Structures are given as C-alpha cells and as structure tokens.
C-alpha cells in the first residue's frame, strides 16, 4: 500500500516539475529555431520566405539577429545578448499573458529617433532600474565591430542610445541574458543590413514539431541547422526524465523487497492451516484446489493494498493540486503536481503482475511441502 501510494505521489510530483520546466522554457524558446550551419549570420535573401510561411504546421515566424553586447546604465556595466526581432515575436512569446511582463510596456519599436526595447528581470536588477513603470530608462548599448583590427585610438564598438520600456520574466537563463528590440535597429547597430542570425517559428498547436522540422529541412537544405525546442533544451529534459526513471527503479526495487511480506503472510497462513489441509486431503481435497486457495489469497491481499495505496496517493495529489498544501522552497508558488492516469494504470499493472508472480511461486512451493 505504502509503495504504490509513494509511486503515485512521486510520479505526479515529477510530472508537475517536468510540466513547470517545460512551460518556463517553451514560453520563450520557440517550437523551431533555424540558424546557419556556417557563420553567425546569413543574408535574408537566401530564404524563400513565401514557401517557408506556406509549409504545413507553420503558424507564426520571426526573423532574428542576435549578438553579445555591453549595456551601460549610469554607473552599471553588464554583458547581455541583444536580440532583434519582428513584432510577431512578441505574440509568439505571449508577453502580455501569464504575467510575463513585470513592469512597463512591451515596446520594441523605433519611434521619433528613439529605440525602444525590453529586458529580462535579472538584467534589470543588475542595472538597478527603478522607474521603468513610470517612464523608459535611458541606457547605452555597445556592440563589437566585426572584422576590425584593434588600433590605438580606434573605437572597437558600435554604440547607440537605447530606451528600456519594459521588464519581462521567463526563465532564469532568459531573464539574466536577453534584451529584446526591433530587428531594423539591431541590423543598423551591428552594420549588418539585410542579414539575420536566426528564424524563430511557432507551429500550429495540432502539429508535430518533428514533422514540421523535416519539412523545413527539405525546403532549406543542408546549409541550415533546424532544431526543435526539445533539442535546444535536451539536457534539461533528459535530466528530468532520468531522475524520474531512477526514482521509479528504486521504489520498484523496494516493492520487490516488500513482496517478501506477502510471501510471509501466505506462509504463515499455510502453517496455521496445514493440519486442517492434511485432514481435508484425506477426505478428497486435491492439490490443485489447495493451490488455488493460497494463490488467490495472495492476490486478494496484494490487490487490496495496491488499490488502497493508489487511492491514497491520488487523493494526496488531488489535495495538493486544489488546496496547495505545499509550496516550492523559497517561494509562495504551490508545489506542482500533474496526475497521469495512464502512468497510474501502468504502475497498477506492473505491481499487480509482480504480486501475482510472488503469490504463484509461494503457493506452488508450499503445496509441494504439504505432506
């Protein structure tokens, strides 16, 4: 009972954590990202945009240009990644939903010679930005000049004034690294007109990312690297799944050890009833019926424990989901739980099969010793 309840609770907890991690990274990282196989950037004219947009499963897309820059605000200097994107990118990351925009406005346009952008909460803290809610904060961006030999007296950076109009919150990596602004401003700043480094694609909800990826690779050829969100964050997903499998394996091993309690219960019952069984055998009770008695007794004991454990485990998960009894350490967020009835069914089948196996072996062994 305890093992089956623990399995249900732990699996639901791991599913919840996996779902939370997935939502954190898929909120910003797009379903599919395209980059050049050689070099950091490639000409926009190299892509057949009409055919790409018409591919089955492609919902939205945005061109992007990324570069490492230095950001200065008053006396603070920090490294960051400048990402120039098209307006549709803000819709793709759903910045106005789920409290992603913490302060200010989601502005990335150039207006009246002022260039607007938004930055991650981690960068905002390092820059000590305080008044974004009331008005944009003025900063300076320094971007390295490409293919330039360092010479005394020569400035190795492009630089431009930049207004931070909003602060966003996604995952820690994005919050500590990303500045979002418009593509044209980034191209002008880096002196890379008509060049981009990435294409970000949001797929249709009903589409399979792997299938869309295959279609894109066939269209673009070998000159481009096409990655799904799962491939970009492969280490995170693999680590989560590996930990989940390890915990399941450990608990299943414990269940195997606990199965000896079932063996002991059947054996004790057999010892108590042995004299009566010998008498019944002399009256015509055959070994097959004696075997059935102890075999089904073992199944009954294990089934009751299994069903009660699954019920209690599911109840604990339901209470956590609805009443938020536990919170994540260091925060007020409820500990995530996701109940997977498919996995619970698989647990029930595996544990029932194991219990049946031990009941069969025990009953078979005891009948041989009934003399």
pLDDT in tens, 89-108: 999 998 877 678 888 888 89
Per-residue pLDDT, 152: 59
Our CA angle for 331, 337, 339, nearest 5°, is 175
Q: In this structure, are residues 66 and 58 in contact, taking their beta carbons and an 8 Å threshold?
A: no
Mean pLDDT is lowest, of 42-56, 135-149, 205-219, 328-342, for 135-149
- pLDDT confidence band for 150 (50 / 70 / 90): low
Per-residue pLDDT, 98: 66
7 by Cβ neighbours in 10 Å (0-12 / 13-18 / 19+) ranks as buried
Per-residue pLDDT, 289: 83
Q: In this structure, are residues 26 and 92 in contact, taking their beta carbons and an 8 Å threshold?
A: no
Beta strand 178-182 with 76-85: parallel, antiparallel or unpaired? Answer: parallel
Max mean pLDDT range (27-41, 53-67, 232-246, 287-301): 53-67
Q: Which of the two residues, 312 and 241, has the higher pLDDT score?
A: 312
Extents of the domains making up the chain:
2-19+236-368, 30-232
Q: In this structure, are residues 92 and 30 in contact, taking their beta carbons and an 8 Å threshold?
A: yes
- pLDDT confidence band for 259 (50 / 70 / 90): confident
Per-residue pLDDT, 103: 86
DSSP code of 29? S
Per-residue pLDDT tens over the stretch 183-199: 999 999 998 989 999 99
Per-residue pLDDT tens over the stretch 287-333: 788 788 888 888 888 889 889 999 999 999 999 999 988 888 877 77
Mean pLDDT is lowest, of 21-30, 69-78, 205-214, 319-328, for 21-30
Half-sphere exposure of 279 (CA within 13 A, CB side): 4
Asked if the model's pLDDT at residue 51 lies above 90, the reply is yes
Per-residue pLDDT, 313: 92
Per-residue pLDDT, 130: 66
Per-residue pLDDT, 29: 86
Rounded to whole angstroms, the Cα distance separating 300 from 294 reads: 10
Asked if the model's pLDDT at residue 47 lies above 70, the reply is yes
Dihedral angle of Cα 294, 300, 305, 311, to the nearest 10 degrees? 170
Per-residue pLDDT, 131: 63
Mean pLDDT is lowest, of 19-28, 164-173, 187-196, 310-319, for 19-28
Q: What is the mean pLDDT of the chain?
A: 86
Q: Which of the two residues, 347 and 201, has the higher pLDDT score?
A: 201
Asked if the model's pLDDT at residue 117 lies above 70, the reply is yes
């Amino acid at each position: 009972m305890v093992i089956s309840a623990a399995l249900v609770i732990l699996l639901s907890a791991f599913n919840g954590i996996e779902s939370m991690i997935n939502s954190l990274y898929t909120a910003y990282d797009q379903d599919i990202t395209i980059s050049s196989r050689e070099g950091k950037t490639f000409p926009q004219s190299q892509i057949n945009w009409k055919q790409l947009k018409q591919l089955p499963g492609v919902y939205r897309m945005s061109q992007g240009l990324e570069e490492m820059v230095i950001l200065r605000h008053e006396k603070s200097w920090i490294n960051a990644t400048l990402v120039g994107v098209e307006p549709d990118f803000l819709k793709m990351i759903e910045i106005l939903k789920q409290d992603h925009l913490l302060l200010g406005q989601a502005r990335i346009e150039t207006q009246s010679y002022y260039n607007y952008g938004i930055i991650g909460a981690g960068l905002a803290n390092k820059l000590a930005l305080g008044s974004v809610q009331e008005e944009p904060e003025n900063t300076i961006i320094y971007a390295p000049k490409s293919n330039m030999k360092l010479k005394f007296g020569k400035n190795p950076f492009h630089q431009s004034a930049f207004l931070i109009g909003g602060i966003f919150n996604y995952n820690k990596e994005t919050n500590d690294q990303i500045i979002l602004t418009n593509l044209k401003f980034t191209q002008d700043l880096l002196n890379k007109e008509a060049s981009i480094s990435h294409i970000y694609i949001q797929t249709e909800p009903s589409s399979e990312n792997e299938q869309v990826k295959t279609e894109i690779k066939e269209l673009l050829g070998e000159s481009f690297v096409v990655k799904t969100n799962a491939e970009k964050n492969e280490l995170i997903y693999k680590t989560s799944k590996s930990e989940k499998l390890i915990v399941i394996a450990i608990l299943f091993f414990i269940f195997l050890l606990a199965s000896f309690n079932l063996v002991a219960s059947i054996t004790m019952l057999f010892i108590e009833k042995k004299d009566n069984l010998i008498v019944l055998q002399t009256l015509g009770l055959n070994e097959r019926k004696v075997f059935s008695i102890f075999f089904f007794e073992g199944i009954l004991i294990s089934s009751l424990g299994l069903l009660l454990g699954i019920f209690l485990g599911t109840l604990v998960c339901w209470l956590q989901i609805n009443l938020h009894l536990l919170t994540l350490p260091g925060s007020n967020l409820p500990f995530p739980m996701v109940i997977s009835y498919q996995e619970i069914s698989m647990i029930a089948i595996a544990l029932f099969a194991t219990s049946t196996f031990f009941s069969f072996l025990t009953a078979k062994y005891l009948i041989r010793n009934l003399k």
